[in-house]
Chain A
Amino acid sequence: MRGWTVRLLMTLSFGLMVLNGCTDKNGNPVGLDTFQRDQFGEELSLTLYAAQSDTFYFNELQSGLAPYLILGSRHGREFQSIHRLQVSDIPDSVVVDSAVVYLFVQQVLGDTLQMTPPDVWEVNGTWDEEEITSQSIVNEALQGGKLNITPGIINSDTLSFHLPVEFAQKWVNDSLEADKGIMLSYPVSDDGNLLRIYASDNGSANGLIHFYTHKDTLFTEKRCFFLNDAYVSQYNIVQNPNRLWIHDGITYRSFLEFDFSAIPENATINYAELNLWVDTLQSWPDNTPELAVQAMRVTSEFTPNGESVPETTEEAIHSGLLAADTLAMAISTQVQAWTSSFQENFGFVLAGGSENSFWGARSFFSATADSSLRPKIRVIYSIPPVSSTDDQ
């Protein structure tokens, strides 16, 4: 009899589990009119405009290993190039007649008809192409006297100039000195040109100096290629600009900050889209092709006081593609992280999608613009209802 009880219960239990599987759960939703709650939650949309603290800045650049050098000045930013060579296989008994520097231009940003010769300076001391910076040039007094050059060929392919003969003669006479070099720069300008020059690490079109010498009646020509080169540029910060810039290749970046405090912490961000409007008259060199844009989260408090640039994540948190004259970038997950306090909102930085390879810039209207052109984020979010059982 006791065995009967166990068998019955086991059989019944199995049968009930099968029946349970046949149960029609979660039928089609009905009964909205009967459903009563204090709150149903809310679905809302909100347009947020960038804070006036938006900032346009340049990251400090230093590159001694890149295949190209950048030389010139634009938007208040100055790029200097520094070049090293050895003149060890020219006899010091020769007389230098002429020394012509040739640098080969890969691309010019700006007006090729308005190209001018650079300022050229003697380099004092030694430098490491991987460590040299704008600051180390100053600290180590690398920049020597300015050389009085004679311009040569200056076009979109070639930049050449004659070094002072006495300067070149000194190099030849002092051939045991390993480090010789020149530094090039342009005066700081807002609308100057930027030259992209083949570097010694490029493998082709390496810059060089032609030494034309003679001894007695024997005239010779000797080519000395630059052994090392680098370019540097100090960071610069432009506060409350009328335009924000994003520039591939020379790291124009823009800092933007929005106040999300109007969105409750427990809200779900269904959609957040950043909108920027391009000032097509200033895009550089033009408005094509499409420009990849990436957003990087700022990781610590940034005070736009001109003394530092924002610290950002290395990886982009979101990316978008600039089409025509606007940028629409979905940034929902980042806004969610900020509003739900996963991450503190220090703002974000917009940069070119390929800062080391592409060569182009876009100018966006900043927070100083009219509201129709001002950077904005449109947020669609939902606020949960109050639970029916929690203690309010």
Chain B
Amino acid sequence: MKRFYNIFILLLVLTGTTVQASSVLSSYGPGLYYRFPSARAMGMGGASIAVVDPTSVSRLNPAANTRLSVTTVMLQFFYEGNQYSDATSGANTGYANLDGFQFAVPLGNQMSANIGMQPLTRMDYHVSLDKSLDGFDYTKRVQGEGGLNTLDISFCWAPTHFFSFGLTGHYIFGRFKETWWVEYEDPAILKTRDVYSTNGSAVNFTLGFMFYPSERLAFGAVYTPKKEIVNKTTFTPVFEYETPKVDGYVTLPASLGFGAQYLAAKNFRLAADYEIQDWTEFEMSGRNPVDMANVQRISLGAEYKPSLDPLAAYFKKCTYRAGFATLPFYGKDRDGDIIRETWFTVGAGMPMFHGLSQVDISIGFGRRGDLSKNGIKEDLFRVGVSITGGERWFLRRY
């Protein structure tokens, strides 16, 4: 138990240091909304609502974890490179970090519980503007950072072999910091540094369901209701005059997702997700400066394992994946046009230690926006690594 506690604390600390995405689009709303829940799902274009696997923990659908057979710790690593360009400028940014964890314990009788933590939104942008006032040249810069994380506790149960359900309780928390600088070239003129720091928190839940009409076919559904995140914002200017905290809120719209999995063969899996989240319902304290979109994500993925023979060559025992996803970005451009986001992904799952543990790797190539249509384009490159360690805990040894 002490070991579990140590690991938990370590993961909690490391997850909290997640570096934020570098994109001006993260200035929209609560920051870039997190879409790919695990490296395994990333390899399949994000399709994971109905994907059930005894060697990995589903972070999207709590009902999909009833078939875990061993105590499982899943650690997620995430890298994203972003090649940004617009009509006048461009930038290359990248980030890497631990991206959450899951700790799942099968309870027997087709029940399991797990605890985990993962990013929900990420904000990191840096824009600047050159201006002049009364002959004094200055630069105005805005930098935003922070994001929301969610600490999850899930429980799932399969009362029958063709149905299971799960419930995840989310404690959503996070901090946003937006800093505005005004920097004059004349050193005699003092700089402005205004910092808005917002702490937000909320409690929400996700309901998940799985239906298994046949051994080959599975359907899943998840629903997370709309939720207001209560904010406390402080304003601190450069002269260290901190104003009283101002109450506000951010409304995260409800999301509803459906998924399907079809086992074309014992070693070949097809999966699809459809998820809808209407961001036009998004509000920040009753307003939103950005025109938002109704996001409908479609993900398609396939997974193939060359051999099920445990004595086969190692690379034949690995799992290979490919996927595709398309969705509109949740914020529209200045002209009100949709900013389309498209992904092609590949991945592999490498079993370790007799199949109880696995390392999943995924690589994604994505594009967000269109230079001619939206005036902005982001070429994205993502690498995800999930390490899943499975051990038989809480079993009596004779």
Which A residues lie at the B interface, using CB under 8 A? 1-2, 4-6, 8-10, 12-13, 16-17, 19-20, 22-38, 40-41, 43-45, 266, 268-271, 330, 332, 336, 340, 342, 380, 382, 384-385, 387-392
Q: Known A5-B391, A29-B128, A31-B86; judge A390-B180 contact (CB<8 A).
A: no
Among B43-51, B245-253, B273-281, B300-308, the one that faces the other chain is B245-253
- Are B19 and A20 in contact (CB-based, < 8 A)? yes
Tell whether B203 is near chain A: CB-to-CB under 8 Å.
no
Q: Which of B110-118, B184-192, B209-217 interfaces with chain A?
A: B184-192
Provide the residues of chain A in CB contact with B246, threshold 8 Å.
387, 390-391
Mark the stretch among B53-61, B162-170, B285-293, B311-319 that contacts chain A.
B285-293
- Cβ of A31 and Cβ of B188 under 8 Å apart? no
A23 with B97, Cβ < 8 A, contacts A35-B27, A391-B285 known:
yes
**Bound CA span A37–B28, Å:** 9
Q: A residues within 8 A CB of B243?
A: 266
A270 to B284, CA, bound (A): 31
Residues on B lying within 8 angstroms of A by beta carbon are 3, 6-7, 10-11, 14, 17, 19, 22-25, 27-28, 73, 75, 77, 79, 84, 86-98, 124-129, 131, 133-134, 136, 138, 140-143, 176, 178, 180, 182, 184, 188-194, 196, 198, 200, 231, 233, 235, 237-239, 241, 243, 246-250, 284-287, 289-290, 333-334, 353, 375-376, 387, 389, 391, 393
CB nearest to B134 among chain A residues: A45
Q: A384 near B188 (CB under 8 angstroms)?
A: no
Q: A13-B11, A24-B94, A387-B233 are in contact. List 4 more A-B contacts (CB 8 A).
A: A13-B98, A25-B22, A382-B182, A387-B178
Residue ID in chain A nearest B356 by CB atoms: A1
List residues of chain A with CB within 8 A of the CB of B143. Answer: 26, 29
- With both beta carbons as reference points, the residue of chain B lying nearest to A336 in the complex is identified as B239
> Which one of B10, B93, B178, B200 contacts A9 once the chains associate, using CB atoms below 8 Å?
B10
The complex places the Cα of A340 from the Cα of B242 at a distance, in Å, of: 10
State the CA gap A342–B240 with chains docked (Å): 11
Shortest CB-to-CB span from B378 to chain A, Å, is 9
Interface secondary structure of B, over-half rule: strand
- B391 and A268 contacting across the interface, CB-CB below 8 Å: no
- Closest CB pairs A-B (n = 4): A31-B24, A29-B128, A391-B248, A384-B194
In the complex, the answer to whether B22 meets A24 with C-beta atoms within 8 Å is: yes
Question: A376 CB to closest chain B CB, in angstroms?
Answer: 14
23 A-B contacts (beta carbon < 8 Å): A2-B391, A5-B7, A9-B75, A17-B17, A22-B96, A24-B95, A26-B124, A27-B22, A28-B91, A29-B127, A29-B141, A30-B91, A31-B23, A31-B84, A34-B333, A34-B376, A38-B287, A41-B182, A41-B194, A268-B190, A268-B194, A388-B178, A390-B231
Question: Do A390 and B334 touch (CB < 8 A)?
Answer: no
Which residues of chain A are within 8 angstroms of B97 by Cβ–Cβ distance? 16, 19-20, 23
Q: How far is the CA of A240 from the CA of B174 in the complex (A)?
A: 58
A8 touches B387 (CB 8 A): yes
Residue in chain A with minimal CB distance to B247 = A391
Partner among A1, A23, A41, A388 whose Cβ is within 8 Å of the Cβ of B284: A388
- A35 contacts which chain B residues (CB < 8 A)? 24, 27, 125, 127, 142
| Chain A, Cβ-Cβ closest to B393 | A2
Interchain CB contact (< 8 A) of A389 among B10, B17, B128, B284 = B284
Q: Please tell me if the beta carbons of B95 and A23 are within 8 angstroms of each other in the complex.
A: yes
Nearest opposing residue in chain A for B126, CB measure: A29
Question: Are A23 and B127 in contact, CB atoms less than 8 angstroms apart?
Answer: no
B96 A34 Cβ-Cβ under 8 A: no
Nearest residue in A to B87 (C-beta to C-beta)? A33
| Complexed CA–CA distance, A27 and B93 (Å) | 6
| Known A-B contacts A1-B391, A19-B96, A380-B134; A32 and B127 likewise in contact (beta carbons under 8 Å) | yes
Q: Which residues of A contact B235 (CB under 8 A)?
A: 266, 384, 387, 390
